[in-house]
């Protein structure tokens, strides 16, 4: 007797075992993520087989965790011809069960965090919930803090009250020579943040943030690497807007070029951030900032074209979605940088860099050359501090030459 689980999946018999009641929900979840019919069939069938195996081995639903999936795969390889994707399919099933609270918190069962990891996780929560820092900032800070704590305490108990200025200085002196200048400066910033956090919590009596050495650096050492306008025009003209991916990429590149958004800001845009009536865009910037920007006509048209004709069906509220399953929003800035890199390669353009930030620099440079003030540029780019914008004062060399005072006595 055949059993229909989903419109596209037919099993030879009804599901059995502890997962039987959840197979249909799992199939619907996979379908909503945009997986192909073939992939959907494979994932549902392996879920049904895994459920029967759990029943035979007398494992109830609340006791399921990843080790059982590994044991089942070993069993499966001995009885069924293995298929590419079996392991990934089973992990998606485990993840589905966990997200829906159908099994115990298996992520905690795998391994208890070390003392250093516990302190680091608490600090990460503080940055996210109290300081409201951007996810990208947190990702950059946490590894340095974890490395510092491991250097001071190893695998043992973390006693923050025992930290002293010497611990901080020694760590920076050892690490800084191994890092690029920007990374070294980021490390010291992360340490000051963490040590300020320990003082705020009362874990340390002294503010050890003052003990973090300063990494020597000239202010504004280099001119921003901006993509020139002619390369932007060439790049946009090269996008095939007859395809769904082309519609998406064209809208993304226009947002970068016309509004100077950061890659992470583009990735995190949601449908509710677009006000079509007033023609404004709500941008989620750094540190929880919200920056309202006017939506240029060409950008609005490109986004509307993508939403109407290129965006896959999805329950996600993100504006821009992956083109391949799982159909979800991008995880972060790296995905936008990847789109820029591949678009430049396809167009055969030798741009200053391969990332998205060059469009931001390009917009600021063009605004400066057309007479915009640094204050206007900083407002559009969402700079919190005026000093951040002053780097563009080094860009327009020709404009600066007109301000030069003649050398006394003239030229000889």
Active site residues per annotation = 262, 286, 357, 360, 383, 392
Rounded-to-integer distance, Cα 250 and Cα 57, Å: 53
In our burial notation (b when 16+ CB lie closer than 10 A, e otherwise), range 205-219 reads eeebbebbeebeeee
Rounded-to-integer distance, Cα 260 and Cα 262, Å: 7
**Ramachandran assignment for 371, one of left (phi > 0), alpha (psi -120 to 50 degrees), beta (any other):** left
Residues 6 or more apart in contact with residue 254 via CB below 8 angstroms = 236, 298, 299, 302
Question: Positive or negative, the Cα torsion across 112, 118, 124, 129?
Answer: positive
Reduce the DSSP state of residue 213 to 3 states and report it: coil
Rounded-to-integer distance, Cα 194 and Cα 187, Å: 11
Nearest to 283 by CA among 303, 267, 296: 267
Question: Positive or negative, the Cα torsion across 348, 352, 357, 361?
Answer: negative
Backbone angles phi, psi at 134, to 5 degrees: -65, 150
Q: Are 329 and 321 in contact (CB under 8 A)?
A: yes
Distance of CA 181 to the CA centre of its chain: 23
Rounded-to-integer distance, Cα 118 and Cα 146, Å: 10
Name the residue with tokens 């491991």.
150
Read off the tokens for 307: 């939403």
């Amino acid at each position: 007797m055949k059993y229909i689980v989903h419109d596209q999946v037919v099993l030879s018999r009804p599901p059995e075992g502890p997962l039987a009641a959840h197979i249909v929900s799992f199939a619907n979840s996979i379908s909503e993520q945009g997986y192909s019919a073939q992939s959907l069939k494979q994932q549902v069938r392996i879920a049904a087989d895994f459920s029967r195996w759990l029943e035979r081995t007398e494992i109830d639903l609340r006791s399921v965790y990843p080790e059982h999936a590994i044991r089942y795969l070993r069993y499966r390889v001995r009885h069924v011809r293995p298929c590419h994707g079996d392991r990934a399919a089973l992990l998606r099933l485990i993840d589905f069960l966990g997200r829906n609270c159908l099994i115990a918190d298996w992520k905690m069962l795998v391994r208890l965090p070390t003392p250093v990891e516990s302190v680091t996780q608490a600090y990460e929560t503080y940055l996210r919930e109290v300081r409201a820092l951007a996810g990208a900032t947190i990702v950059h800070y946490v590894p340095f803090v974890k490395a510092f704590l491991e250097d001071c305490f190893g695998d043992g108990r973390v006693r923050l009250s025992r930290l002293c200025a010497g611990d901080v200085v020694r760590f920076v002196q050892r690490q800084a020579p191994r890092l690029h200048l920007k990374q070294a400066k980021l490390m010291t910033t992360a340490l000051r943040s963490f040590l300020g956090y320990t003082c705020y919590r009362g874990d340390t009596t002294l503010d050890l943030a003052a003990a973090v050495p300063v990494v020597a650096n000239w202010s504004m050492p280099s001119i921003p690497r901006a993509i020139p306008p002619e390369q932007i025009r060439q790049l946009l003209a090269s996008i095939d807007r007859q395809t769904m991916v082309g519609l998406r990429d064209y809208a993304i590149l226009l947002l970068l070029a016309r509004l100077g958004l950061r890659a992470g800001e583009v990735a995190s845009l949601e449908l509710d951030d677009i006000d079509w009536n007033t023609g404004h865009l709500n941008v989620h910037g750094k540190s929880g900032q919200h920056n309202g920007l006017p939506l240029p006509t060409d950008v609005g048209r490109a986004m509307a074209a993508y939403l109407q004709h290129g965006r896959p069906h999805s329950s996600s509220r993100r504006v821009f979605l992956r083109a391949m399953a799982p159909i979800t929003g991008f995880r972060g800035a790296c995905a936008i940088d990847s789109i820029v890199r591949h678009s430049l390669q396809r167009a055969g353009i030798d741009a200053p860099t391969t990332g998205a930030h060059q469009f931001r620099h390009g917009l600021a440079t063009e605004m400066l050359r057309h007479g915009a003030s640094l204050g206007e540029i900083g407002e559009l780019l969402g700079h919190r501090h005026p000093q951040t914008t002053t780097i563009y004062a080094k860009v327009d060399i020709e404009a600066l030459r007109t301000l030069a005072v003649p050398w006394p006595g003239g030229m000889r």
